[in-house]
Structure 1
């Protein structure tokens, strides 16, 4: 599950892992926030690169752009043969889906990539709202993030 985690005065883009009984197995903080994310989220330190042995298989994750970092994937694979590779993202492009196919083939694993879908109406009206001046996105039903989740 993706979450925004607060620790002290820093926010982290984080993936949380739970057992079938609902117990927290652990977490992974995104190593390097991408572009404007760096204004909001802190950097992970690499100590949380996870692979968890679960009843349905070995589970690991890379958050969004981490999937484009070959050395991150190498470090993840070195922790054990991942059978279920989770890739939460905000990128619903066809290129992203091609990358997920590549990871499934090269990693020899199933890839689950959850991508958010949201519309302008999902955000509150506020003068500081990031989506207030997005031209065509002023329409109440305008799509802000198009989704694009895949299971490969």
Structure 2
């Protein structure tokens, strides 16, 4: 060893989690330093992951209720659209008796009013759809 040159001993350790620990010791003076390097940039901690899983479980039932309500609303809107086509079709409309057409239009109006209520439950929407279907089915079968 020449004068002014340092002799370093470096030890690299990688644990099972991929964390690198480096220890450097200068041999002549005995001084050492260490650093721990983890690849945590952009990764979630286990506490953050646990919190996300807990939140997902907590909101699962409200998410399912929202999905059920959304699907019921879509089904009712679709059926209303089909009934409106039937009522506005001159050939089908002429085949209906006057009071049958009025009953369909009344049930149609009720169903549309239910759609306007923002906090309608999925069950309320399904009930209106079934009521409309009953009126339309009865009117079509007694032409």
Q: Same fold per TM (> 0.5)? A: no
The structure where helix makes up a greater share of residues is 2
- Calculate the TM-score normalised by the size of structure 2: 0.19
- Calculate the TM-score normalised by the size of structure 1: 0.18
The structure where strand makes up a greater share of residues is 1
